[in-house]
A and B are shown apart, each in its own frame.
Chain A
């Protein structure tokens, strides 16, 4: 009584992050969680794909086989996406953008394979937001110089500077929260369906998986990369 929400089968609802085993670090107890395990699995898949792709591209043939075709298609697609938004700045950033695109996409899709998506942990998405933040401001200082940054800060009038600073700080927070909350809501929905409707959840949850894991995951990946690119291009452009 009084513990948690009273629902039939509420004990089966399971979408939280679980600790796998603890270890000591500088006198603190730190946990290896399911997120770490899932990130490792996603990473292993990506590394295996990369090794195979590297091997194929090194012995590239004029008439590409199936796998070589897939690799070339992925690279061309990402190049086109980055080039379309960033224009002349795309050569410097397409490696980074492609990396986070593939990582976030596979992380979001991993819910299909029974993993807890790593991006449904704020500890994974916040570092990505901070990386974007760092890139934005590094490039702002690099291209616009200190004078341009100060001019951008005092945009209409100097009195506006605190609001502009709040706007700058809000960028990584909203970026990371958007990705986190979208993936988390999908995870929670699927957990609720499987726990509360376990008697009749037979084949139709597949349709929900298509929406929550594939569609929503792909859209959020696209949005994260698109916004990152837009912000960075904005920071690189000098008036």
Chain B
């Protein structure tokens, strides 16, 4: 009781890292929606293709941030190992 060894902590860190990258679902869906609407916009107005593309990429990169936070947490858990005593 109350006494965990390092392997247990590392295993739990790995599980936590796996859970943290589930955050990637949100940006994936969001970027897909953005890309879909951009494709529709280009289809309606092919002349504005470069504007639409740059706006889409900007919005997607901003939407990506939350996924990257999850990635950072996973990286911290796996490589920096803050939970080890």
Contacts and interface: CB of A to CB of B under 8 A. Distances in A.
A2 B10 CA distance: 8
Size range of the interface on A?
Answer: 10 to 19
Given A5-B78, A185-B71, A188-B75, A223 B62 contact: yes
B7 A2 contact: yes
A144 interface: no
A181 B61 contact: no
A185 B6 contact: no
B57 interface: yes
A227 interface: yes
B65 A178 contact: yes
Contacts of B57: 219, 222-223
Nearest to B14: A5
A177 B72 contact: yes
Contacts of A220: 61
Interface string B1-26: 00001110010001000000000000
Nearest to A181: B68
Interface string B63-80: 011001101100100110
B58 A2 contact: no
A226 interface: yes
A122 B79 CA distance: 15
B62 A181 contact: no
Nearest to B9: A2
B72 A178 contact: no
Secondary structure at the A interface, as helix, strand, loop or mixed, is: helix
A178 B61 contact: yes
B61 to A, nearest CB: 4
B85 to A, nearest CB: 13
A219 B10 contact: no
Interface string A1-40: 1101100000000001000000000000000000000000
Nearest to B55: A226
A185 B61 CA distance: 14
Nearest to B81: A4
B58 A178 contact: no
Contacts of B64: 178, 182
Given A5-B14, A222-B57, A223-B58, A174 B79 contact: no
Contacts of A219: 57, 61
A184 B75 contact: yes
A16 B62 CA distance: 26
Contacts of B61: 178, 219-220, 223
Interface in B19-65: 54, 57-58, 61-62, 64-65
A2 B6 contact: yes
Contacts of A5: 10, 14, 78
A188 B75 CA distance: 9
3 tightest A-B contacts by CB? A181-B68, A223-B61, A2-B7
